[in-house]
Amino acid sequence: MDNTVDARGLSCPQPVLISLAEMKKVGRGKMFVLVDTDTSKENVSRAAKSQDWNIEKIEVEDGGYRIYLKKD
């Protein structure tokens, strides 16, 4: 996947804002977001859904999360 947002180490709302900017830039397709807190995971997931992106899966990874997003 080419479209990766690495928002680890950032506090909200930065992960959401960066993720939304990438979603807008990409438009559709697949991307994933790396976050390191439960709050960021929930907020990014909620923001993605609000933009009609589907959460394909969320994996626990290195003390954080990898959120797989897809929009057709």
pLDDT tens-digit series, residues 37-68: 999 999 999 999 999 999 999 999 988 999 99
In 3-state terms, the chain is what percent helix, strand and coil (to 5)?
35, 35, 30
User: Helix, strand, or coil here: 17?
Assistant: helix
Q: What percent of the chain has pLDDT over 90?
A: 90
Q: Please give the Cα distance from 24 to 4 (Å, whole number).
A: 13
4-65 to CATH, choices 2.30.110.10, 3.20.20.220, 3.40.50.720, 3.30.110.40? 3.30.110.40
- Supply the pLDDT for residue 20: 98
| 15 upstream amide cis, omega within 30 of 0 | no
The pTM of the full predicted model, rounded to 2 decimals, is 0.94
- Supply the pLDDT for residue 1: 55
